[in-house]
Structure 1
Amino acid sequence: MTNAKALIAEDEPLLRQSLRRQLATLWPELEVVAEARNGREALAQFQSLQPDICFLDVHMPGLSGVETARRIGRRSHLVFITAFNSYAVEAFAQGALDYLIKPVEMDRLADTVARLQERLRTAQPAPDTGTLLEQLAAQMERKKPETLRWIRASVGSVLRLIPVDDVHYLRADDKYTLVAWCEDGGEAGEALIRTPLAELLGQLDPQRFAQVHRSVVVNLHAVSHLVRKGDTARIHLRHRSETLPVSRRYLHLFRQM
């Protein structure tokens, strides 16, 4: 068990680093031999290094964690990492799959580490989860939400249908969400809607919209430039004068800007 090796596959660098630190505290002998940003990279690292344990984010670009796990099969002990998602957690809980919910809590991780250590100590083979993974992959595919195209908002006595492409950002505002947009012709507007920001985020195209702060989601196509200040930053928009905060947790989204 002192020679156990692990791979961490997670597309958010800060979450990868956090999990690595937690594992170092709970299991100092475990050697994290590789980190991957997506499923294809994780699979290549696995083929090369053959780690005993793979921590796989369920939703990764290119190749999902579930599909990556299907290709790894029983050659490694698998632990899935997921944002809270009722259907996924239910599937994991009913099968022989270890899972962690973001943000990963030390107590939950400690339980997972104890199970992994016992399996390695007694030389238990990785469980056969092929059928369950196939069912989970199919279920996730069926439940992919359609991306939102319009946002309905009341502006005075007028009900507006705001094209999502025109939205520059959304910001949580007490029990409401502020929607700020700018039309092609240059007219800018704002409106409050009752839909929570977290619910809207799940309906937006992840290739276009990104959360940059606990209370702010921005249209990446509307970003002009970024001004860094220590571990945070401010976003400047192309067609609006206000700036938006970027917290440390999300600064990696702009590392190439």
Structure 2
Amino acid sequence: MNIRVVIVEDEPLAQEILEEYLVEIPGLQLVGKFYNGYDGLKGIQELAPDLLLLDINLPKISGFELLELLDAPPQVIFVTAYDTYAVKAFEVHALDYLLKPFTKERLKTAVEKARERIALKDMQNLERVTQDVQIDSEPLERVVVKTGAKIDLIPVGDIHYLRAEDDYVGIHTAKGRFLKLKPMKYFEVKLDASIFCRVHRSFMVNLSQVIRIEPYEKERYRLILRSGIEVPVSKSGRLRLKNALG
């Protein structure tokens, strides 16, 4: 079986080395190579490769952000110069993570692991790994959202509040509402707790947007945001809010 491969790597020399090594591994077909996350995303969607060789620190959008935007991600071998992205999480889930510089033999070993996964069609593995790494990596500075063919990069400081909507979270900003396929718990863990507070099972707010807290039913409260939006506060949310505001 021929494995269709795409490379997304911003360093020309690293791309050349990868291509040189791949030529010597039987059963691989390099169908595309890209230098940034935007072009890589578009190329992967058009070419539908079986295997992706992916750098993490890319121009425009990162390797992790690129994976979040793919509806049907291929198997992935991460290729990076940094060892700070939860390497053990990849190893536990039997995907691979190559630290530059690496040898041809090391890449071949990684490709053989991926070949086995492709044969087994074990695509759930990738989802578990990307989720683990996102939780373990640095706090969010921005959220990447795809709407049709459009990609929006939302700085977390622009978020007024978040609302759980079934399997999605609605991200509300001055520019409108954006949907992200993530659980609310993800944002609760990833957003700075000194700035964002989960005040209800379905709501998190940017504390800088709160102008007033007022009762509206017996022992129940709501927040009034600068935009005029009213956000309910649960009993446990009120305690978290109190602690956050000191």
Q: TM-score, normalised by structure 1?
A: 0.49
1:131 deviates by 4.1
Instruction: Encode CA deviations 1:145-194: one digit per residue, 9 max, x unaligned.
Output: xxxxxxxxxxxxxxxxxxxxxxxxxxxxxxxxxxxxxxxxxxxxxxxxxx
Partner of 1:25: 24
DSSP 3-state at the match of 2:111: helix
How do residues 196-235 of structure 1 correspond to structure 2 at under 5 angstroms? none
**2:76, 2:126 within 8 Å by CA — same for their partners in 1?**
no
Q: Quickly say closer, same or farther: Cα 1:50–1:19, change in 2 above 3 A.
A: same
Matched, 1:129 2:105: no
In 1, Cα distance between the equivalents of 2:54 and 2:20?
A: 16
Note the C-alpha offset of 1:106. 1.6
Aligned AA (1:18): I
Counting matched residue pairs gives: 141
Question: How high is the sequence identity, in percent, across the aligned residues?
Answer: 32
Counterparts of 2:96 and 2:72, CA distance in 1: 14
- The 5 Å alignment of 1:113-124 reads 113-120=111-118, 122-124=119-121
Q: Which residue of 1 aligns with 2:9?
A: 10
Partner of 2:80: 82
Determine the C-alpha separation between the residues in 2 that align with 1:135 and 1:123: 22
Change (3 A) 1:143 1:91: farther
Structure 2 CA distance, aligned partners of 1:65 and 1:125? 20
Q: Give, in whole Å, the separation in 2 of the partners of 1:97 and 1:71.
A: 19
Mapped partners of 2:135, 2:105: distance in 1: 31
4+ residue runs of structure 1 moved beyond 3 angstroms? none
- Select which of 86, 94, 97 maps to 2:95: 97
Corresponding residue number in structure 1 for 2:55:
57
Alignment of 1:46-195 (within 5 A): 46-72=44-70, 74-120=72-118, 122-142=119-139
- Computed over aligned residues only, the root mean square deviation of the Cα atoms, in angstroms, reads 2.3
**Contact 1:57/1:80 (8 A) holds in 2:** yes
Change beyond 3 A, Cα 1:85–1:141: same
TM-score, length of structure 2 as denominator length: 0.51
Whether the aligned pair in 2 keeps the contact of 1:96 and 1:127 (CA below 8 Å) is: no
Per-residue deviation, 1:14:
0.8
Contact persistence 1:5–1:51 (CA under 8 A): yes
Name the aligned partner's letter for residue 29 of structure 2.
E
Per-residue displacement from partner, 1:1-47 (whole Å, max 9, x unpaired)? 13x211000000110111011011123x3111111111111110011
Q: Which residue identity lines up with residue 61 of structure 1 in the other structure?
A: P
**Residues 87, 49 of structure 1: CA spacing in aligned structure 2 closer, same or farther, 3 A cutoff?**
closer
Q: Which runs of 5+ in 2 are unaligned?
A: 142-246
| Structure 1 residues 73 and 97: CA distance shift in structure 2, 3 A | farther
1:45 aligned partner? 43
**Matched AA of 2:35:** R
Q: Distance in 2 between matches of 1:48 and 1:57?
A: 19
